[in-house]
Structure 1
Amino acid sequence: MTAPRTRPAALAGALVLVLVLAGCGLVSSSGTFHDATLPDGARPLDGARITVTSKSFTEGVLLGKITATYLAAAGAEVSDLTGAPGSASSRQAQLNGDADVLWEYTGTGWVNYHNRTETIADPQELWQRVHDIEKSEYDLEWLPPANFNDTYAFGAATPTAERLGVRSLSEVAALPVAERTFCVDDEFFSRSDGFLPMLEKYGIPYNAPNGVPAANVTRMDSGVVYTATAQGAPCNFGMIYTTDGRVKNLNLVVLTDDRKFFLPYSGTAVVRGEIIERYPQLRALLGTISERLTDDLMQELNGRVDIDGEDPADVAYDWLKGEGLVE
């Protein structure tokens, strides 16, 4: 993803069938969601008409389905445009006024939409900066972020982490040179905010004496990185995304970025200003969702789609029902 960073086919009324390219395969997203009601029978959005869109990667679709299901349960007439292929179509639909609610990522807003290069390590500060720019320039309301951060990280197999006694990137940097072995994909290797500057940040520059020799770095497809990391060969440490379902499925240890190199990509519900003014109750409703979303939960939900092959609409409904948010 840059994490789900950036992911147009035209939006023609509704997306009848979208094939969502996820990390482990293709997942069908049909533009539908489960009927549900709020447990107390309340309908705070009765009479509201709201269009929910999402990008096409698994996490984006899941967040869109959760949102569509919950807002419809609250009484809204919801048009489901989740799974818009590419990143431009969902964003452009919202800018055009054709879609009202879209889950975004603070890092995406900062880097991709506004071309900012400053790394702001504090998630709340980054959200506030993006919030203010988006409100001023586009009248888009970035609601307070959820409790998950789908950013770059490095992972290790649990036996590898235990053998080497590492839980952070600083501890990796302190290992003997021979143990500093990495698997990365080509895009991350060459990014200006990717692998090489990360090594510099941690004092182990690429192909430098006492750094990380070129022979210690294996470049491969991003999907293969997870398997190689879990096997501990040809690398001890692999580039991952923090909410990817394979983290939990493969029992990988996510290493702490203790020097705060990677930009936060906090998931955030974004609503058009006109719509949030018309239906201010959206703040509380979407906040109810956001406050429950964590890295561990997103790993689990993403894994149910990418690894177990479940439909995103089913996963969204099951989670909402399990949380007691819908019936």
Structure 2
Amino acid sequence: MNNADEKNMIKGNSEKNNWPKRHIFHKVAIILLVITLTAGVLAACSGTADGQEEPKKVVLASKPMTEQYILAEILTLLIEAETDIEVEQTLGIGGGTSNIHPAMENGEIDLYPEYTGTGWLFVLKEEVLRDPDELYEAVKAAYREEYGIHWSGRYGLNNTYSIAVTPEAAETYDLKTLSDLGKVSPELTFAANADFLERDDGYPGLEETYGFAFGDIKEIDIGLRYQSIQSDDIDAITVFSTDGQLQDADVVLLEDDKNFFVFYDGATLIRQETLDRYPELEEVLEKLTGLIPNEEMIAMNYAVEVENEDPAKVAEDFLREKGLL
């Protein structure tokens, strides 16, 4: 019985001057109120209204990029296969880290895949660390202290910048490293997106570290990199080291022999509060440590981006191949 019904009932009875019935209705309302309050207290104690324990659940996020969708599906399948925890997915969050990190801090998101370089430079705004192990330990300690967020072991992939050249240029100039490229750069043409050409950890830094001085530099859209290097007038481009297109692109990746590019090692970030609530998750997440090298991430990205496979199916196939499903 709601308040409106009770008022109408009382009003009707008063008009009939039927006081005994009105008194009864008051008693019924009080009894119903007591029953409702008691049920609420019992539900609060038991977790749900039917007395069952509240189900275990975590919220998993990802950035809006192919690699992140695949990694999120891998995490979802592994957690649900190894535990009784339900995974609620919130994938493809616009703005990536800039929106996911605050949501992690306030508890809206429990875990997501992230990269060491992003955490160190973008979130913590620290100075560049070139050594990947030093970077990982530093970012792990800082996140634990400042945000109460735990970094799992690294997957094995490093999604950083790289420089690719045409097979013709590699053969003609015997190019294997970025140092090799720097020596002959005045003879070649380089193409990259505007952001890379301007940022300190991009082309300006390469000029300083490797002595790059290309005969010509072309500004291109980041999505046209692989098409551009197929033309006759471009010899070198910037790429990401886990790009799916690398699987069948006719290019040669050069070694960053002076470790100029910051490492972006992938790992799972999870709130320490979530780990404290579900400690079994730590062992589950560690099953991915060292399990996803660049070559395998490239193949999975290729399957989704080029062959149009479902990220969940690619993730399932990967885990079955590794004996984890």
TM-score range, shorter chain: 0.7 to 0.9
User: What is the match of residue 4 of structure 1?
Assistant: none
Once the 2 structures are TM-superposed, how far is the Cα of residue 232 of structure 1 from its aligned partner? 5.6
Preserved contact between residue 113 and residue 266 of structure 2 (Cα < 8 Å): yes
Cα deviation, residue 279, structure 1? 2.5
Structure 1 ranges of 4+ moved more than 6 A: none
SS of the equivalent of 1:318 reads helix
2:171 aligned residue: 162
- Aligned equivalent of 2:20: none
Say whether residues 1:199 and 2:201 are aligned partners: no
1:55 alignment partner, SS class: coil
Which structure shows the higher strand fraction? 1
Structure 1 letter corresponding to 2:280: Q
**1:247–1:253: 8 Å Cα contact kept in structure 2?**
no
Tell me, yes or no, if structure 1 residue 221 matches structure 2 residue 228.
no
Task: Measure how far apart 1:119 and its partner are.
Answer: 2.2
2:75 to 46, 67, 75: 67
| Range with greater deviation from structure 2 (276-285 or 138-147) | 276-285
Q: Encode CA deviations 1:108-137: one digit per residue, 9 max, x unaligned.
A: 111111112x22111111011111111111
CA contact (8 A) 2:69 2:311 kept: yes
Alignment pair present for 1:172 and 2:174:
no
SS at 1:80's partner residue?
strand
Counterpart in the other structure of 1:95: 105
Per the alignment, residue 275 of structure 1 pairs with 274
Aligned residues: 269
SS of 1:324 mapped into structure 2: coil
Greater shift after overlay, 235-244 or 312-321? Answer: 312-321
Task: Report how far residue 182 of structure 1 moved.
Answer: 0.8
Task: Tell me, in whole angstroms, the C-alpha distance in 1 between the residues paired with 2:131 and 2:283.
Answer: 24
Matches within 5 A, 1:256-295: 256-295=255-294
Aligned 8 A contact 2:121 2:128 in 1: no
Q: Secondary structure at the match of 2:103?
A: helix
Does the residue aligned with 2:288 lie in a helix, a strand or coil?
Answer: helix
Matches within 5 A, 1:116-131: 116=126, 118-131=127-140
Q: Deviations over 1:251-293 (max 9, x none)?
A: 4322111111111100011110011223333222112123211
Q: Distance in 1 between matches of 2:252 and 2:270?
A: 35
Q: Report what 2:315 is aligned to.
A: 316
Determine the structure 1 residue equivalent to 2:34.
none
Partner of 1:242: 241
The alpha-carbon distance between structure 1 residues 198 and 176, as it changes in their structure 2 partners (threshold 3 A), is closer
| One-letter amino acid of the structure 1 residue matched with residue 219 of structure 2 | R
The letter of the residue matching 2:121 is: V
Give the Cα separation in 2 of the matches to 1:159 and 1:323.
37
**Is the 8 Å Cα contact of residues 57 and 83 (structure 1) preserved in structure 2?**
yes
Check whether the contact 1:201–1:261 (CA below 8 A) recurs between aligned residues. yes
Q: How far did 1:176 drift?
A: 6.1
Moved more, 262-271 or 49-58: 49-58
Structure 1 distance, partners of 2:322, 2:286, is: 14
Unaligned runs of 5+ residues in structure 2 are: 1-54
> What is the rounded CA distance, in whole Å, between the counterparts of 2:225 and 2:267 in structure 1?
28
Q: Is the aligned partner of 1:152 residue 2:161?
A: yes
For the aligned residues, what is the CA RMSD?
Answer: 1.6
- SS of residue paired to 1:69: helix
AA partner of residue 320 (structure 1): L
- SS for the counterpart of 1:89 is helix
- CA distance in 2 between counterparts of 1:195 and 1:232 reads 21
Query: TM-score scaled by structure 2?
Result: 0.79
1:222 corresponds to which letter in structure 2?
I
- How far 1:161 moved relative to its partner? 1.9
Could you say if the C-alpha distance between residues 280 and 251 of structure 1 is closer, same or farther in structure 2, counting changes exceeding 3 Å? farther
Q: Which runs of 5+ in 1 are unaligned?
A: 1-46, 205-210
Q: How far, CA to CA, are the matches of 1:232 and 1:259 in structure 2? A: 29
Counterpart of 1:165, as a letter, is: D
Describe the shift of the 1:133–1:176 C-alpha distance in structure 2 as closer, same or farther (beyond 3 A): closer
Aligned counterparts of 1:64 and 1:153: Cα–Cα separation in 2: 24
Q: How far is the alpha carbon of 1:212 from its aligned partner?
A: 2.7
Contact 1:151 1:263 in 2 (8 A): yes
* SS of aligned partner of 1:84: coil
Q: What letter corresponds to residue 50 of structure 1 in structure 2?
A: V
For the residues of structure 2 that align with 1:255 and 1:232, how far apart are their CA atoms? 19
Alignment of 1:80 onto 2:89? yes
Bigger Cα Rg: 2
